[in-house]
Amino acid sequence: MLVLVAPGQGAQAPGFLTPWLDLPGVRGALEAWSDAAKVDLIRYGTEGDADEIRDTAVAQPLLVAAGLASAYTLFDDPAELPRRVGAIAGHSVGELTAAALAGVLPDEDTVRLVRTRGLAMAEAAAITETGMSALLGGDPEVTIPHLEKLGLTPANVNGAGQIVAAGTLEELAALEADKPEGVRRVVALKVAGAFHTRHMAPAVDALAQAAAELSPADPVIPYVSNKDGRTVATGAEVVARLVGQVANPVRWDLCMETFKELGVTALLEVCPGGTLTGLAKRALPGVKTLALKTPDDLEAARELIAEHASA
């Protein structure tokens, strides 16, 4: 059983879209999505430097567009995707990539919504100086109460021993000075704010207004939600969760538990892949993994699909 996953913010790198533009249909799709989102995705994905594409308002539509473009190149006919993929999920903004691929929202509506999401989260992040830090090592049962004691939120509980804390810069400095027992290192992440925490509450309102204008369809692929790792059957519930998730923790650990329950045998991460396959290698032993980084990975990805996808 094949699971398709989409990465979240931080997976992008300067120039990562360049090799994909040579594939049939990719440039045209990116131009159309650029028009829909009112942001030049091709320029940012090929010429943008690290600071430019770190901007939340740019990074989020860029990641979703890259995920969609790379996923569609996997199949001669995009209609094959829902017939071959056993379940789908995305990490944070990757949930919007997953929603589009699952048929919940048209691509153009998705990139417009993610542009609104990115702008709103950037504005919310500007209100207070906040950030995020990854904790290496430790036991979640010890780490999470320790974070809460410091006023921090376990914003990403990623499984495989990885937790990302989020809060004010003062709270994160206190964490550096007072690490939870068993945590070896605290690594500050290059993000613009405390995503998936109460600090993003203003973004929820903006996203809710934009989402109210959408007409979501029910997913045609089992859609696994960051909220609690459960599959969601209706498009309306998928969109409601996408809105609320902006200010609530990502439970990727629970998503991977659901993959196991569904009988996953292979996990394929769309471009710019690597982060989620790394987690899966540690948390899902025995499951084959593959990350789409460049078009050079397509042949191996198609072989994985042929071996593990549904008939």
Which residues are identified as catalytic? 92, 196
Q: Are 277 and 289 in contact (CB under 8 A)?
A: yes
Q: Are 221 and 87 in contact (CB under 8 A)?
A: yes
Pairing of the two strands 183-188 and 130-137: antiparallel
Structure tokens at 195: 């995503």
Q: How far is CA 154 from CA 108, 173, 187, in A?
A: 32, 15, 14
* Cβ contacts of 303 within 8 Å, gap of 6 or more: none
Nearest 10 degrees: CA dihedral of 128, 184, 91, 45?
80
Structure tokens at 185: 């290192």
Radius of gyration (C-alpha) of the chain in whole angstroms = 18
**Cα-based angle 220, 225, 229 (whole degrees, multiple of 5):** 120
Nearest 10 degrees: CA dihedral of 261, 307, 66, 247?
0
Q: Measured between alpha carbons, how far is 65 from 75 in angstroms, rounded to an integer?
A: 17
**Which candidate, 51, 41, 52, 50, places its Cα nearest to that of 18?**
41
Structure tokens at 132: 């995020």
Q: Measured between alpha carbons, how far is 231 from 224 in angstroms, rounded to an integer?
A: 4
